[in-house]
Amino acid sequence: MITTLQGLVVALLALLPGASYTFAFERVAGSYGITFSDRLVRFLVSSALLHAALSGPEFLLYRNFVVGKRLVEGTVSWWVLELLALAYVIVPTVAGTVLGWGHKHHKRWAVLIVGESPEPRAWDYFWRHAEQALVRIRLKSGTWLAGYYGTTADGRRSYASGHPEEGDLYLALGLQVDPVSGELALADGVPVPVAGERGLLVRWPEIEYIDIQEY
């Protein structure tokens, strides 16, 4: 139990690198923290690893600025402290961003560090790693829909909701499809957009079957 202001400051400083890393990683690779306690464990583990990796530089800083009393005597330039404070936040943030990018793009070095598939569901795993796909959906009513998962020419981006939310899916471009057979309408071998090139939003409770072809 933290009972002093100094103890609270030390605890926050100890957790800050892990928090910066975790937020940066989840911003790129996806967030799957179900509860605050789950995310707190990630903070603690990543903070411990970062402090262990940077223990040498931390010791040198402690010896020069605290034991050497440079902070107390005021002999440290303000810009030195500013650079150290920025590095304390930026280094973990960059590490989280790089690892998140590496995981999202299936880089072997990132997989070795963060694991093969931290996503809790196959739905999250596929859509987090998919770049472009043609998607055909059969609703529980028996009607077929189709759309393009990716980014359209005018900048609209498709999106799939993640855990713990239901698997709702937004396709940036709807495609013409036979509502009974599910066959895509093609023109010179290319799928035909719906009139007006509108997007398509489908809620998970309405979906019976999905056919996905990476495009």
From first to last of the 215 residues of the chain, give the pLDDT tens digit.
556 766 666 666 777 888 888 888 877 776 665 566 667 777 778 888 887 887 888 788 778 777 777 766 667 776 777 888 888 889 899 998 998 888 777 788 887 877 766 677 888 888 877 889 999 999 999 999 999 999 998 999 999 988 777 889 999 999 999 999 999 999 998 999 999 999 999 999 999 999 999 87
Domain count, the chain: 2
Residues 37, 24: Cα–Cα separation, whole Å: 18
Q: Quick one: pLDDT at residue 73?
A: 67
| Statement to judge: residues 11 and 103 lie in one domain | yes
Which residues, including other chains, have CB under 8 Å from residue 87's CB and lie 6 or more apart? none
Which string of DSSP letters, residue by residue, matches 83-99? HHHHHHHHHHHHHHHHH
- Pseudo-torsion of CA 23, 27, 30, 34, nearest 10°? 40
| Statement to judge: residues 33 and 75 lie in one domain | yes
Domain that holds residue 23: 5-114
Q: Quick one: pLDDT at residue 172?
A: 96
The pTM score is 0.63
| Statement to judge: residues 133 and 106 lie in one domain | no
CA 63 to chain centre: 37
CATH classification at residue 132: 2.30.30
Examine the fold and report which residue of 114, 146, 169 is the final residue of a domain before the chain moves on. Answer: 114
